[in-house]
Every structure is written in C-alpha cells, then in structure tokens.
Amino acid sequence: MSLGPGKYDELCSYVLEKSHGQAAVVIVVSDKRGPGMGVKEDFSLAGGKYHINRLPKILRKIADEIEKSNGT
C-alpha cells in the first residue's frame, strides 16, 4: 500500500465519515480512473489504537466468504 493520498482517498474519507466507523476500506474494481483502494482510520473514535492492523485478517475472511458464495 502506498503512502499518502490515493485516487480513492476522498471516497474512503466520505464512507468513514458517513458510517461513523473506526476504519473504512473502499475497493474499486472498475472505474474510469482504474482499479484501486482507499484505507482510512478515525483515531479519535479508535481511542488512538491502530485498528487498521486487523485489516489483513478481515480482508481474508471477506475473500473466503466471497469464494464460498461463488462456489469457487
């Protein structure tokens, strides 16, 4: 993951704000700007903890669920 703002940084910020979550991940598969992702964490809600460190485990679980639902 690259440092600094990416092409979907603003969208991810919007999702995090509207969801009132501690962290948000936006993955775009196809768009005129090309595929990409955004990752944001709201440290004020997270109590200063880095919850984003749990992201790989969460994404693996989501990937497993997608594969199960698609029969792969």
Residue 56 lies in a domain: yes
Residue 4 lies in a domain: no
- Band (pLDDT 50/70/90 cuts) for residue 1 is very low
User: Of residues 18 and 46, which shows the higher confidence score?
Assistant: 18
CB atoms within 10 A of CB 42: 16
pLDDT value at 14 more than 90:
yes
How many structural domains is the chain composed of? 1
Residue 2 lies in a domain: no
C-alpha distances in Å from residue 49, one per residue of 4, 13, 22, 28, 42: 20, 18, 10, 27, 10
DSSP 23-62: EEEEEESS-TT-SEEEEEE-TTTTTT--GGGGHHHHHHHH
Give the pLDDT mean for 50-57: 76
pLDDT value at 4 more than 70:
no
User: Of residues 15 and 2, which shows the higher confidence score?
Assistant: 15
Residue 3 lies in a domain: no
pLDDT value of residue 64: 93
Residue 29 lies in a domain: yes
Residue 1 lies in a domain: no
Domain that holds residue 43: 9-70
